[in-house]
């Protein structure tokens, strides 16, 4: 153990690591070693290795995994299609695996990391920001690419300088960080990576939350500046609050005056409306009285008219009945005269018939007398 490594262990002793780095698998490609570091955050290493094997079996290349949906990756890890409820526990590791591959693609424009071996130091700068993979896991992959020695990695150099382990610019000529992070010492690398990922950001470090704030010169100074800023912000908030209180009081007074003015205006309007309502009510009442009187007169006129109409109709009915009676009487007299006329005609016809019969009888008697006379003359002639 080097003095630098011992110093780091002592300094970072109070840091609690959330997830440990996986054990290096001999012969595993660097891309898969990084994938293993991502998956062990969700499961034991043995299971994570079997998941990687399942993905390699399901997909011919890692780029296809990168462009797949989370549910498809989860199904491939499980070994086949299943219901969403059964696959949902695998969504978090499947999502992180896809995002890790996307991160690698954006940084390298490819789907492999073994090319890091060609220029570990230069590639360490290219992989300075790997949020999904994380600082510790990125450093582990870079160390594997560099034969076990961690190359100069900007986030780790920044942290070493801020904590005062090395002077600013003191590692410009260094070839690697093996003195600080010897091969196999994952514990120190994990703690340092935890601080980098959680608090010691490049542009906006949150030193006030870091567990090393009292032991880190940069953090202590930043914390003091932060407290000053917070005090200034608190004072500013107090001033703003006081100013806001004054403004609110003025606004409340203005609103109260406005409300009083509006209430007075509304009262005047209400009284005016009441007077107008009363006036309209009086007019309506007068109109109703006039209309009632008019309706009364109309009703009386209608009653008189109806009575006159009824009397007229009664007189007309009586006249009609009298006319009908006179007509019936005339018809009866006419019928009587007609009957008498018919009787006279009947008697005249009977008389004529009797006279006709009497004439016929006389003619017959006359003919009979002539016949008898002729016979007598004939008989007399025969006797001569």
pLDDT at 1: 59
Percent of the chain with pLDDT over 70: 99
340-361 in b/e form (b: 16+ CB < 10 A) is: eeeeeeeeeeeeeeeeeeeeee
Largest Cα–Cα distance of the chain, in whole Å?
221
pLDDT at 99: 97
Average pLDDT of 352-369?
Answer: 89
* Phi, psi for 352 (deg, rounded to 5): -60, -40
Q: Is the pLDDT of residue 61 over 90?
A: yes
Q: Is the pLDDT of residue 113 over 90?
A: yes
pLDDT at 79: 75
Compute the distance between CA of residue 48 and CA of residue 364 in angstroms, rounded to an integer. 164
178 neighbors 122 (Cβ within 8 angstroms)? no
10 neighbors 215 (Cβ within 8 angstroms)? no
Compute the distance between CA of residue 176 and CA of residue 61 in angstroms, rounded to an integer. 33
Which is nearest to 185 in space by CA: 152, 120, 139, 145?
139
| Paired strand residues for 176 | 151
pLDDT at 384: 67
39 neighbors 51 (Cβ within 8 angstroms)? yes
Compute the distance between CA of residue 212 and CA of residue 195 in angstroms, rounded to an integer. 9
Average pLDDT of 283-305?
Answer: 91
pLDDT at 50: 93
The 10 Å Cβ neighbour count of residue 187 is: 13
pLDDT at 144: 94
Which is nearest to 205 in space by CA: 159, 166, 168?
159
Compute the distance between CA of residue 380 and CA of residue 384 in angstroms, rounded to an integer. 7
| Total number of residues shown for the chain | 384
pLDDT tens sequence across 238-276: 898 899 999 989 999 999 999 999 999 999 999 999 999
Q: Kindly report the average pLDDT of the chain as a whole number.
A: 91
Q: How far is CA 340 from the centre of its chain?
A: 107
Q: Is the pLDDT of residue 82 over 80?
A: no
DSSP assignment string, 205-246 = --GGG-TTTTT-HHHHHHHHHHHHHHHHHHHHHHHHHHHHHH
pLDDT at 378: 86
SS3 151: strand
Which is nearest to 203 in space by CA: 154, 152, 136?
154
pLDDT tens sequence across 190-209: 999 999 999 999 889 999 99
pLDDT at 261: 92
pLDDT at 376: 86
């Amino acid at each position: 153990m080097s003095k630098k490594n011992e110093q780091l262990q002592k300094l970072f002793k109070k840091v609690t690591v959330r997830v440990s780095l996986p054990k290096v698998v001999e012969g595993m490609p660097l891309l898969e070693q990084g994938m293993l570091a991502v998956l062990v955050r969700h499961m034991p290493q043995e299971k994570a290795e079997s998941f990687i094997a399942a993905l390699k079996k399901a997909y011919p290349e890692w780029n296809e995994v990168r462009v797949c949906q989370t549910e498809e990756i989860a199904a491939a890890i499980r070994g086949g299609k299943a219901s969403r409820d059964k696959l949902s526990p695998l969504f978090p590791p499947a999502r992180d695996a896809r995002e890790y591959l996307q991160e690698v693609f954006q940084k390298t424009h490819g789907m492999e990391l073994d090319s890091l071996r060609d220029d570990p130091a230069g590639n360490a700068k290219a992989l300075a920001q790997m949020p999904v993979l994380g600082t510790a896991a990125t450093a582990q992959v870079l160390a594997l690419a560099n034969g076990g020695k961690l190359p100069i990695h900007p986030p780790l150099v920044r942290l070493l300088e801020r904590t005062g382990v090395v002077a600013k610019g003191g590692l410009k000529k260094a070839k690697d960080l093996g003195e600080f992070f010897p091969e196999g010492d994952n514990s120190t690398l994990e703690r340092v990576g935890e601080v980098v990922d959680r608090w010691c950001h490049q542009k906006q470090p949150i030193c006030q939350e870091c567990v090393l704030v009292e032991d880190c010169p940069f953090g202590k100074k930043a914390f003091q500046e932060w407290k000053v800023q917070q005090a200034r912000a608190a004072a500013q908030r107090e001033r703003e609050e006081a100013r806001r209180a004054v403004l609110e009081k003025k606004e409340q007074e203005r609103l109260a005056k406005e409300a009083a003015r509006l209430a007075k205006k509304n009262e005047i309007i209400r009284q005016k409306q009441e007077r107008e309502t009363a006036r309209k009510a009086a007019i309506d009442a007068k109109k109703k009285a006039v209309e009632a009187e008019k309706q009364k007169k109309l009703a009386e006129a209608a009653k008189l008219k109806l009575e006159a109409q009824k009397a007229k109709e009664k007189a007309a009915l009586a006249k009609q009945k009298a006319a009908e009676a006179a007509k019936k009487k005339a018809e009866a007299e006419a019928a009587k005269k007609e009957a008498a006329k018919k009787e006279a005609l009947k008697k005249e016809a009977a008389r004529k018939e009797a006279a006709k019969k009497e004439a016929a009888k006389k003619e017959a008697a006359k003919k009979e007398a002539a016949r008898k006379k002729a016979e007598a003359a004939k008989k007399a002639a025969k006797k001569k």
